Amino acid sequence: MTSTMEAGGRGEAAWGQAPRRLSILGTTGSIGLNVLDLVATEPGRFEIEALTAGRNARELAELAIRFSARIAVVADPSSYAELRDRLAGTGIEAAAGAEAIASAAARPTDILVSAIVGFAGLAPSLAALGATRTLALANKETLVSAGPLFLATAERAGTRILPVDSEHNAIFQVFETDNAPNVSEVIITASGGPFLRTPKPELAAVTRDMALKHPKWSMGPKITIDSATLMNKGLELIEAYRLYPVSVDQLSVLVHPQSVVHGLVRYKDGSLLAELGVPDMRTPIGYCLAWPERRPTTVKPLDLATVGTLTFEAPDRDRFPCLPLAEAAMRRGDGAPCVLNAANEVAVEAFLAGRIGFLDIARVVEAALAGIDAKGGLSEPSSLLAATELDGWARKIALACL
């Protein structure tokens, strides 16, 4: 666990004291709405500073008014007029553009939830470091594309990173920092997605609608497709590698269709510690919002007698080639995860738009990774500019392969 993730209540206002000042990047998405769902259950506990969205000005304005935000920002400048008009007379500031999102992220807060989807989340997440005391990170693409840069910047800025992703949040809860040298394995679980039992020949015919039906989790479209290809598990392996002091060989994936056990840490004495809960993102989000305390949430308690059976199996790397591609990028390091992520974003967008088939997602990612050798190797991005250039380079290769 990096020092930016150390346990302990350093500087945290206890519940019942001053309200916590909170900003949300990606308010109108699946994670953002779950954050506000929890905020609504804790009247007076939070003051909302900034709320941001991509282009959904109508919903963003409604939420900004309902939660009395100080500023609302849309990334897409063409949505600005609608946002401004809807907020007229409310006293809530309106702004637009990628730079305005980064400026909003840099406003002082106690907690900032980073829940923009994709590489677009990196710049504002970096901008928030130092301005927020705790950054609750859902945007896994930040850690995949530029994890070392992001975590080193957080460390220098004194911002604590709490993982929102359910698997990493689970590991955070059971990883004993003092016993880090005695950890032998970190395991993240995977539901297996909608095609867990689909024979390989049938995967070529998978449509957008089929892939968007996740059996266990309700999430935004990009991560839902990533879950169907198992790229999500690959991105999460890289995320775990960035966050926890373990080697690549100590990380593994276990398919667990019930999605009750979210993450496990094995110790050298033979103990295997796990976090269990219903598959509902409000549990890890609530954990981050209340940290270092634990607060009640409206999440239905896990009833193990009703669940009855928990099963585990190894992932099928042959039917789901995105997982071994991500594992290879993780082993390779030096910018390869950034390339993997960029190519995957391009491919998933093309699949959602009906331009390529399901199996083409892995093909496009593989082609982009192969481009690294042609380029003569890469290095890990050491600045936002370097990450943006590498991301752009990989996108061009991926686009050419569609």
Instruction: Determine, following the binding rule CB under 6 A, whether residue 136 of this chain makes contact with ligand NDP.
Output: no
Measure the CA–CA gap between 56 and 170, rounded to whole angstroms.
Answer: 32
Stretch that binds ligand NDP, among 89-97, 221-229, 262-270, 296-304 (CB under 6 A): 221-229
Q: Which of residues 165 and 327 has its CB atom nearest to ligand NDP in the complex? A: 165
Residues 144-173 that bind ligand NDP (CB under 6 A): 165
Shortest spacing between CB 24 and ligand NDP, in angstroms = 9
Instruction: Give the DSSP letter of residue 19.
Output: P
Report, in Å, the least distance between residue 327 CB and ligand NDP.
Answer: 18
- The residue within the footprint of ligand NDP, chosen from 12, 23, 26, 175 (CB under 6 A), is 26
Considering the complex, what minimum distance in angstroms separates the CB of residue 52 from ligand NDP? 6
Length of the chain in terms of residues written? 402
Dihedral angle over CA of 142, 54, 33, 303, nearest 10: -50
Q: Which positions from 227 to 266 touch ligand NDP by CB under 6 A, shown as an x/- string?
A: ----------------------------------------
Q: Among 5, 38, 64, 75, which residue sits at the site for ligand NDP (rule: CB under 6 A)?
A: 75
Instruction: Work out whether 220 is an interface residue with ligand NDP (CB under 6 A).
Output: yes
- Which residue lies nearer to ligand NDP by CB, 213 or 375? 213
Which residues inside 290-349 make contact with ligand NDP, applying CB under 6 A? none
Work out whether 140 is an interface residue with ligand NDP (CB under 6 A).
Answer: yes
Whose Cβ is closer to ligand NDP: residue 99's or residue 176's?
Answer: 99
29 binds ligand NDP (CB under 6 A): yes
DSSP 247: -
Instruction: Report the residue from 146, 154, 223, 350 that binds ligand NDP according to the rule CB under 6 A.
Output: 223
Contacting residue, 36, 87, 104, 120, with ligand NDP by CB under 6 A: 120
Structure tokens at 328: 């290879």
Dihedral pair phi/psi, residue 317, rounded to 5°: -75, -15
**Spatial separation of the C-alpha atoms in residues 234 and 188, rounded to whole Å:** 10
Binding mask 54-73 vs ligand NDP (x if CB under 6 A, - otherwise)? xxx-----------------
Instruction: Note whether 283 binds ligand NDP by CB under 6 A.
Output: no
Longest Cα–Cα distance in the chain: 63
**Do 211 and 194 meet the contact criterion of CB atoms below 8 Å apart?**
yes
Angstrom distance (rounded) from CA 158 to CA 116: 22
Q: How far apart are CA 62 and CA 56, in angstroms?
A: 10
> Shortest gap between Cβ of 234 and ligand NDP (angstroms)?
12
| In the complex, least distance from residue 11 CB atom to ligand NDP, rounded to whole angstroms | 26
Task: Report the nearest approach of ligand NDP to the CB of residue 272 (Å).
Answer: 23
Question: Which residue carries 């093309």 as its tokens?
Answer: 350
The two tokens of residue 366 are: 């593989």
Residues 6+ apart with CB under 8 A from 234: 322, 323, 324, 325, 326, 327, 329, 330, 340
Angstrom distance (rounded) from CA 251 to CA 234: 11
Taking residue 91's Cβ as centre, other Cβ atoms within 10 Å add up to 9
- Cα distances from 110 to residues 61, 135, 216, 386, 397, in angstroms, run 23, 8, 32, 29, 40
Q: Give the residues lining the site for ligand NDP (CB under 6 A).
A: 26-32, 53-56, 75, 101, 115-117, 120, 138-141, 165, 217, 219-223, 281
